[in-house]
């Protein structure tokens, strides 16, 4: 099992997403350390993209702020490299295919390996296009994380069979963002996943409250939260690390309560 | 032509969220089922002829020919189609297909508003709900078209994100499609996006070159020496080129919007200034920075103001089968005025980019040769903006 498997050894996993460089790289560093100290099991680090077509307004705005404040792929690589020794949980990048491709796919993926990144999530890279990056990811030991959507239907088994690291189960139709109700039949999707792979699966999109996180953790191996954390970062800016830490603690407690 | 499904050389593909995959697969299956279906095609032909006014005229521009003193100039009059542009060809095809697929709602992006108006028109005709996404900047530049879409019963949603232009309208339409797939068809307006859109849109637009070919054989007894069309995403150009790709003696010339010039940041000339990238569902050429952030492009023409180009054009460029040349705002405006004064035809500012290129190359030829310019749309929508460009403030 890859390093990502470790994220799921400590009970149900809580996975926060943050956009790197929002509001600046120093704050991102502190948020990563706070989130880890407060029980985050894996951290998704967003490399901002100018036109993030899978994101709702909250993360779109975070991407814009980060880019405006000078975030770039190279600066994010440097930041991750500088703190990697202090962070003992798996780290994955989440970004868009063009950020990887345009940098030079091999240059990007080999850099990930060098700075201690464990996986890559690309929401605009479906199963059919995996080969764009999969051979390089394999070569450099980076897990290319697959996503399963409520509309995947007959594709679930195929995606699950070929999955690496963990499976990202998209809870709802539409883009990222908090939702009051998640009404997709996730249990049956996860049942099909379990029949086809031993790889852990985590649910993301729409989760913001502890109750939602524990509901999701009850049927999956973990919960992923993005927009709710970005809202905290948007509100507290440079002061956000402490608040994100508190939030991560409450969410980790919520998912852990499921194990009891 | 391509080794892999939906590829044009290395370009094309399906770089979209998993949520949309079954929708594009369903679309591809439906298209393959209906494209050779005699009933579907006879319905579509009837719509083309009786509703849209096809075939569109191929007009010999005699005054322009004499004035330029070179090749005979023919204008393919897509501006005379119902709704005033070539966009109706693709929209009637996709709306009919969507209807056959049981979809009840169309969504679309629009730049200048021509595709939005065409989609709103088809939705009204076929009794479908319609929502059009349009960059807020463009809703201001093309206020009349916003009103036309509303008049036709569509909802127009101004997109405020990013540069608030065409690319942001495409992104927002894609986001809306992931929210609501079951009853909704995304009526994409150009030869771009994920497979099967570049192929479907090209096929529906290829009626343009099919007609040009027959009309030129009738008028001149031979094929044209060059076909010239403007390129944003590239649908009217792809439609104008398609049936000539095999005729290697016919020069195919695509005119990109250079904005204030390809040596400035205010340009939308993708082939001249972009490089290979992955965006909006496809691998193709895009204007972008060194980290792959999509560039905020600019052109006086809202319809060409897009940072990418359709994947089949990228392939025609790679294989050198077509040439792509940049045309500036100033050159396009001059051509807009020239065609109006010389032939009494006010072209869309998009099409004026193609007219400008023809004005330059006509002299390379003799009167035995002929050039076809596709006039993709009519220019009424642009009059206020061109007046402003010339320092005259008129109210629409």
DSSP string, B158-178: EE-STTSSHHHHHHHHHHHHH
Look at domain B55-84+206-389 and name its CATH class.
alpha beta
Q: Return the H-helix or E-strand segment holding A92.
A: strand A91-94
Q: Which residue has the higher pLDDT, B5 or A134?
A: A134
Cα–Cα nearest to B216, from B41, B372, B17, B104: B372
> Which pLDDT tens digit goes with each residue over B197-241?
999 999 999 999 999 999 999 999 999 999 999 999 999 999 999
> How far, CA to CA in Å, does B126 sit from each of A111, A245, B30, B129, B218?
53, 54, 18, 9, 35
Concatenating the DSSP letter of every residue in B55-83 gives SPPEEE-HHHHHHHTSSEEEEEEGGGSGG
Adjacent-strand bridge partners of B324: B254
Q: Are B353 and B255 in contact (CB under 8 A)?
A: yes
Of the residues B28, B109, B211, B256, which is catalytic? B109
The verdict on a CB contact (< 8 Å) between A151 and B290 is no
The pLDDT score that the predictor gives to residue A181 is 83
Which is nearest to A37 in space by CA: A249, A238, A203, A223? A249
CB contact under 8 A, B277 and A129: no
| Range scoring the smallest mean pLDDT among A86-100, B229-243, B294-308 | B294-308
B137 or B348: whose pLDDT is higher? B348
Instruction: Render pLDDT for A134-158 as a digit per residue (tens, 0 to 9).
Output: 999 999 999 999 999 999 999 999 9
Distance CA A199, CA B13 (A): 28
Task: Render pLDDT for A109-132 as a digit per residue (tens, 0 to 9).
Answer: 999 999 999 999 999 999 999 999
Q: Would you state the pLDDT for residue B122?
A: 98
How far CA A98 is from CA of A70, A103, B77, B276, in Å, comes to 18, 8, 38, 9
More confident residue, B396 or B360: B360
Q: Which of A21, A68, A97 to mutate to test the interface with B (most CBs of B within 10 A)?
A: A97
Interchain pair B171, A53: CB under 8 A: yes
Of the pLDDT bands very low, low, confident and very high (cuts 50, 70, 90), residue B393 is confident
> What does the pLDDT average to over B342-357?
98
Tokens, residue A54? 């899978």
pLDDT at B163: 86
Residue contact B174–A53, C-beta within 8 A = yes
Report d(CA B15, CA A97) in Å as an integer: 8
Contact call for residues B324 and B272 (beta carbons, < 8 A): yes
Tally of CA atoms within 13 A in the half-sphere of A31 that contains its CB: 31
**What average pLDDT score do residues A100-116 get?**
98
Q: What is the pLDDT of residue A259?
A: 65
- Alpha carbon separation from B332 to B335, B347, B351, B355, B375 (Å, rounded): 5, 10, 8, 8, 13
In this prediction, residue B396 carries a pLDDT of 57
Share of chain B above pLDDT 70, in %: 99
Q: How far away is chain B from the Cα of A215, in angstroms, using its nearest Cα? A: 22
- Chain A residues with CB under 8 Å of B277 CB are 98, 101-102
Q: Is A102 on the interface with B (CB under 8 A)?
A: yes
ipTM: 0.96
- The predicted model gives B364-372 an average pLDDT of 97
Residues of chain A found within 8 Å of residue B275, distances taken between Cβ atoms: 102
A43-46 and A91-94: which strand pairing? parallel
Q: Please tell me if residue A239 touches chain B, with a CB cutoff of 8 Å.
A: no
> 3-class DSSP state for residue B244?
helix
B292/A98 Cβ within 8 A: yes
Residue B18: which of A74, A102, A152 has the nearest Cβ?
A: A152
Q: In the block, which residue shows the tokens 């998912």? A: A255
Q: How confident is the model over B135-180, as pLDDT tens digits?
A: 998 898 788 899 999 999 999 999 999 888 899 999 999 999 999 9
Set out the domains of chain A in order of their start, with CATH numbers.
Answer: 3-259 (3.20.20.70)
pLDDT-based confidence at residue A1 (cuts at 50, 70, 90): low
Overall pTM > 0.90: yes
CA distance A180 to A59: 18
pLDDT above 90 coverage of chain B, percent: 93
> Given this model, what pLDDT does residue A89 score?
97
Contacts of A239 (CB under 8 A, 6+ apart): none
pLDDT tens track for A223-251 = 999 999 999 999 999 999 999 999 999 99
Q: pLDDT value at position A139?
A: 98
Above 60 in pLDDT, residue A20? yes
Asked if domains B8-48+86-201 and B55-84+206-389 share a fold, the reply is yes
Which fold, B8-48+86-201? Answer: Rossmann fold (3.40.50)
Q: Which residues of B touch A100 (CB under 8 A)?
A: 292
The rounded distance, in Å, linking the Cα atoms of B257 and B357 is: 11
Count the helix, strand and coil residues of chain B and give each as a percent rounded to the nearest 5.
45, 20, 30
Cβ-based contacts of A96 with chain B (< 8 Å): 278, 292
Hunting for tokens 């709710």 — which residue is that?
Answer: A228
Q: Which of B72, B87, B167, B213 is catalytic?
A: B87
Alpha-helical regions (H) of chain A: 25-37, 57-68, 73-83, 97-103, 105-115, 134-140, 156-161, 186-196, 210-219, 227-236, 240-256
Q: What is the pLDDT of residues B85-106, one digit of tens each?
A: 999 999 999 999 999 999 999 9
B153 DSSP assignment: T
- A9 burial level (CB within 10 Å; 0-12, 13-18, 19+): exposed
- CA dist B107 and B7 (Å) reads 25
Determine the pLDDT at residue B2: 42
Nearest CA-CA distance, residue B19 and chain A, Å: 5
Rounded Cα gap, residues B290 and A38, in angstroms: 36
CA-to-CA dists, residue A83 to A6, A28, A30, A78, angstroms: 19, 11, 10, 9
Integer Cα distance of B190 and B89 in angstroms: 11
**Residues in B lying within 8 Å of A, measured between beta carbons:** 13-23, 161-162, 167-168, 171, 174-175, 178-181, 275-281, 283, 286, 288, 290-294
What are the residue ranges spanned by the domains of chain B?
Answer: 8-48+86-201, 55-84+206-389
End-to-end CA gap in chain A: 26
Measured between beta carbons, which residues in chain B are less than 8 angstroms from residue A169?
Answer: none
In angstroms, the CA A17 to CA A88 distance is: 16
Q: What is the per-residue pLDDT across A154-212, written as a single tens digit (0 to 9) for each?
A: 999 999 999 999 999 999 998 888 888 888 899 999 999 999 999 999 999 999 999 99
């Amino acid at each position: 099992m890859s390093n990502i498997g470790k994220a799921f050894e400590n009970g149900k996993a809580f996975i926060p997403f943050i956009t790197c460089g929002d509001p600046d790289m120093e704050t991102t560093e502190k948020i990563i350390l706070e989130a880890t100290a407060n029980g985050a099991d894996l951290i998704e680090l967003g490399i901002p993209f100018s036109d993030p077509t899978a994101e709702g307004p909250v993360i779109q705005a975070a991407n814009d702020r980060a880019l405006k404040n000078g975030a770039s792929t190279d600066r994010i690589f440097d930041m991750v490299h500088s703190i990697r020794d202090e962070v003992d949980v798996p780290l994955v990048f989440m970004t868009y295919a063009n950020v990887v491709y345009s940098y030079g796919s091999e240059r990007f993926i080999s850099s990930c390996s060098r700075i201690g990144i464990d996986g890559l999530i690309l929401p605009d890279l479906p199963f059919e296009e995996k080969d764009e990056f999969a051979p390089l990811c394999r070569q450099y030991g980076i897990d290319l994380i697959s996503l399963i959507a409520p509309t995947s239907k007959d594709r679930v088994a195929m995606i699950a069979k070929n999955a690496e690291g963990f499976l990202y189960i998209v809870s709802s139709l539409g883009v990222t963002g908090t939702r009051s109700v998640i009404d997709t039949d996730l249990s049956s999707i996860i049942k099909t996943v379990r029949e086809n792979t031993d790889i852990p699966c985590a649910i993301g999109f729409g989760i913001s409250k502890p109750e939602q996180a524990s509901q999701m953790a009850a049927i999956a191996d973990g919960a992923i939260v993005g927009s709710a954390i970005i809202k905290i970062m948007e509100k507290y800016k440079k002061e956000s690390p402490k608040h994100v830490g508190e939030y991560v603690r409450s969410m980790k407690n919520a998912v852990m309560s499921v194990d009891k | 032509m391509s080794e892999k499904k939906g590829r044009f050389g290395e370009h094309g593909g399906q770089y979209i969220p998993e949520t949309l995959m079954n929708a594009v697969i369903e679309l591809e299956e439906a298209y393959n089922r209906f494209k050779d279906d005699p009933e579907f095609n006879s319905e579509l032909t009837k719509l083309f002829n009786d509703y849209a006014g096809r075939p569109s005229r191929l007009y010999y521009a005699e005054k322009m020919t004499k004035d330029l003193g070179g090749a005979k100039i023919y204008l393919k009059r897509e501006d005379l189609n119902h709704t005033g542009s070539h966009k109706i060809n693709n929209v009637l095809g996709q709306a009919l297909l969507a209807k056959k697929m049981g979809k009840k709602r169309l969504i679309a992006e629009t730049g200048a508003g021509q595709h939005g108006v065409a989609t709103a028109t088809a939705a009204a005709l076929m009794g479908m709900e319609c929502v059009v996404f349009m960059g807020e900047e463009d809703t201001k530049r093309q206020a009349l078209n916003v009103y036309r879409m509303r008049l036709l019963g569509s909802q127009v949603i101004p997109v405020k994100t990013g540069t608030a232009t065409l690319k942001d309208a495409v992104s927002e339409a894609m986001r809306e499609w992931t929210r609501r797939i079951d009853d909704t068809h995304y009526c994409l307006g150009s030869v771009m996006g994920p497979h099967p859109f570049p192929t479907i849109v090209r096929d529906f637009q290829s009626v343009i070159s099919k007609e040009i070919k027959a009309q030129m054989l009738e008028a001149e007894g031979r094929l044209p020496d060059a076909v010239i069309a403007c390129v944003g995403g590239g649908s009217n150009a792809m439609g104008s080129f398609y049936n000539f790709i095999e005729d290697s003696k016919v020069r195919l010339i695509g005119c990109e919007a250079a904005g204030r010039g390809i040596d400035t940041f205010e340009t939308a000339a993708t082939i001249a200034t972009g490089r290979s990238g992955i965006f909006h569902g496809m691998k193709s050429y895009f204007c972008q920075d060194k980290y792959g952030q999509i560039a905020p492009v600019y052109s006086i023409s809202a319809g060409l103001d897009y940072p990418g180009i359709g994947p089949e054009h990228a392939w025609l460029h790679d294989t050198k089968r077509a040439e792509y040349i940049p045309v500036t705002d100033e050159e396009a405006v001059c051509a807009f005025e020239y065609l109006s004064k010389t032939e009494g035809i006010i072209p869309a500012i998009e099409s004026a980019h193609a007219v400008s290129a023809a004005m330059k190359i006509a002299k390379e030829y003799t009167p035995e040769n002929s050039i076809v310019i596709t006039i993709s749309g009519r220019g009424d929508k642009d009059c206020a903006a061109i007046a402003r460009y010339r320092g005259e403030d008129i109210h629409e």
